[in-house]
Amino acid sequence: MGDRIVLDTNVVVSAMRSRQGASFRLLSLIGTGAFDICLSVPLFLEYEAKLLEQVDELTIGRRDVGRLLDYLASVGLHQEVFFLWRPILRDPKDDMVLELAVAAEARCLVTHNSRDFSEASSFEPKVISPGKYLLDQGLNQ
């Protein structure tokens, strides 16, 4: 079993907008044992809403969005969040992602918007970009 990580929605959307770059590489490694992704119902629903909202800009269609979500649900570690820390961050949706990372005892919260999580520095999960996570884990080939 690898690290437990939480993927912010922007990483999943970015991966589906382009097959180039660290976000797509990270998504392609899900289920390989390199790391485990943690999911909560609210985060999963946000993935779905954002992917469907932007489906015309993605490299996949609506049906494949459903398949991707089914796959993520099948391999992700499902985590209930019983304790809410909010408000910590400016955006309540970011609070939801941070709360999942804390509840799941994730090693990293992977996002393209590290600044949005700057107030979370007192919590355990390391806030890191997809590229930096891949580099740190030696997964960037």
3: enclosing H helix or E strand: strand 3-7
pLDDT tens sequence across 67-84: 999 999 999 999 998 766
The torsion of the CA quartet 53, 29, 136, 109, rounded to 10 degrees, works out to: 40
Would the pLDDT of 96 be above 80?
yes
CA 105 to mean position of chain CA atoms: 14
Decide: residue 87, CB within 10 A, 0-12 exposed, 13-18 middle, 19+ buried: exposed
pLDDT tier for residue 34 given thresholds of 50, 70 and 90:
very high
In this prediction the pTM is: 0.92
Among 13-27, 50-64, 111-125, the minimum mean pLDDT is found in 111-125
Determine the Cα–Cα distance for residues 122 and 3; give it in Å rounded to an integer: 20
Q: Is the pLDDT of residue 123 over 70?
A: no
- Is the C-alpha dihedral spanning 76, 47, 26, 82 positive or negative? negative
Q: Tokens 């907008």 identify what position?
A: 17
Residue range 3-137, CATH number: 3.40.50.1010
Note whether 82 and 89 are within 8 A (CB): no
pLDDT band at 114 (very low <50, low <70, confident <90, very high): confident
Q: Residue ranges per domain, the chain?
A: 3-137
- Under the banding of pLDDT at 50, 70 and 90, the label for residue 136 is very high
> What integer best gives the mean pLDDT of the chain?
91
